[in-house]
Amino acid sequence: MYTLCWSVKGGSGTTVVSSALAVVSARANENAVLVDLKGDVPAALGIQEPSGPGVVDWLNSSSNTPAEALNYLMTDVGHGLRLLHRGKGDFIESSRLEAFAEFLEHHPQLCIIDAGTGIPPAVLREHALHSLLITRPCYLALRRATDCASLADGIILITEAGRALTRRDVEAVLQVPVVAEIPVDASVARAVDAGLLAARLPTVISSRLSAVA
């Protein structure tokens, strides 16, 4: 089974949130898989960029390699977390997406997908256990999300001091429940900059994602 994380506007924090959610899930369930469809996860986690083919290479391949082969493309991050890195090339909605979604849906470990910015492919949404929209209480972000918020079953709200819009406003506009609020905090930025997000996940984000993991 898997959780799909996405946003409608760049800079919403999708990669940091999905990475943190995967770390928390691995701790709670003793293992988890983080799927990187956009390519920024290794940098966010503070690990070396994996070499060799990744999930995009498998999706774009014309061979008959079964989806189970994706298990061999995963990198051990530590503490029960494995990363299925992006690989090379452009992510496209290939005919293999259905097999990919079914593979993750029935995977024995909980999987978290960082789908980045933009509406994820329908097949990924249809097979997901949860579809989480990552957003800030920002008028521009909510304006973009209005037409596609129904594709999410939960919102992770990145809160900032001084914003006029509140959790209640976001839920009223998008008609989707906020399942977690994460305040913008310098400790998270420091952890990412130091390459320590996976090893020393700040409490300010781990505590708020524990109910989602």
The CATH number covering residue 177 comes to 3.40.50.300
Query: 34, exposed or middle or buried, with CB in 10 Å at 0-12, 13-18, 19+?
Result: buried
Query: 209, exposed or middle or buried, with CB in 10 Å at 0-12, 13-18, 19+?
Result: buried
Report which residue type is found at 120. P
**The predicted structure's pLDDT at residue 30:** 85
- Model pTM score: 0.94
**The predicted structure's pLDDT at residue 135:** 96
Q: The domain containing residue 183 runs over which residues?
A: 2-209
- In angstroms, what CA-CA distances link 56 with 4, 11, 63? 16, 23, 13
Rounded to 5 degrees, φ, ψ at 179 are -95, -15
**The predicted structure's pLDDT at residue 174:** 95
**The predicted structure's pLDDT at residue 11:** 86
**Cβ proximity of 19 and 116 under 8 Å:** no
Please state the domain count of the chain.
Answer: 1
**The predicted structure's pLDDT at residue 195:** 87
Give Cα 25 to chain centroid, integer Å: 12
pLDDT along the chain (213 residues), means of 10: 95 94 92 95 91 92 90 93 92 85 96 95 95 95 92 95 91 96 93 89 93 86
**The predicted structure's pLDDT at residue 79:** 87
**The predicted structure's pLDDT at residue 61:** 87
Query: 36, exposed or middle or buried, with CB in 10 Å at 0-12, 13-18, 19+?
Result: buried
